[in-house]
């Protein structure tokens, strides 16, 4: 009888350890799923929100959706938002405040950063073998172009008026100069 209890105890401990490993793995390495050509890495909730945003872009702004699918290969849940156009595949790191504010804002954020990636990759195509200067795809001029673009997308997808207002270029809002440690979007 003791042997049976010991064996069952060991089996239970092994099962609990396996469950902990699976849980830890999914926390450290979030699941990867796809929407058309784009990998989406993050929680189930994140995948659902990003998928809704991509569907909105595909149906209401096909031009923006094409820019997204041609210039972003992965959208990943992150602590802060930003475009890593230099990664393979080009990766948009999307923080929860931007992802979950609303489906329309999530779509606007994705469209905005897809244009940054397009700027980066257009330069690479036009200047093979050269390093892409930061000012080509980041900085004030690039941000103005991306904000003008996101404003058009916001209108096309039927974003609420306050989001359309937020999307407008404001030269006094220098969000791109905020240190990474203080960025909360």
For residue 138, give its domain range. Answer: 33-182
Please report whether residue 6 resides in a domain: no
Q: Tell me the mean pLDDT in the region 13-31.
A: 55
Please report whether residue 111 resides in a domain: yes
Using one digit for the tens of pLDDT, what is the confidence trace for 9-21?
Answer: 666 676 655 555 5
Please report whether residue 104 resides in a domain: yes
For the chain, how many structural domains are there in total? 1
Using one digit for the tens of pLDDT, what is the confidence trace for 118-127?
Answer: 999 999 999 9
42: alpha, beta or left, given left = phi > 0 and alpha = psi -120 to 50? left
Which are the contacts of 133, defined by CB distance < 8 A and separation ≥ 6? 123
- Examine the pLDDT at 5 and tell me if it is beyond 80: no
Q: How confident is the model at residue 173, as a pLDDT? A: 72
pTM for the predicted model, two decimal places: 0.80
Please report whether residue 20 resides in a domain: no
């Amino acid at each position: 009888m003791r042997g049976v209890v010991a064996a069952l105890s060991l089996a239970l401990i092994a099962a609990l350890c396996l469950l902990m490993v699976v849980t830890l793995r999914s926390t450290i390495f979030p699941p990867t799923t796809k929407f058309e050509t784009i990998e989406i890495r993050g929680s189930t909730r994140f995948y659902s929100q990003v998928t809704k945003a991509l569907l909105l872009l595909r149906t209401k702004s096909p031009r923006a959706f094409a820019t997204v699918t041609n210039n972003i290969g992965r959208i990943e849940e992150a602590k802060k938002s930003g475009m890593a156009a230099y990664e393979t595949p080009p990766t948009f790191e999307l923080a929860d405040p931007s992802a979950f504010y609303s489906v329309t804002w999530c779509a606007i954020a994705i469209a905005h950063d897809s244009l940054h990636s397009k700027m980066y990759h257009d330069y690479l195509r036009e200047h093979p073998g050269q390093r892409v200067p930061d000012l080509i795809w980041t900085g004030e001029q690039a941000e103005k172009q991306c904000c003008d673009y996101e404003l058009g997308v916001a209108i096309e997808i039927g974003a609420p008026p306050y989001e359309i207002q937020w999307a407008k270029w404001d030269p006094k809002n220098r969000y791109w100069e905020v240190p990474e440690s203080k960025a909360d979007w």
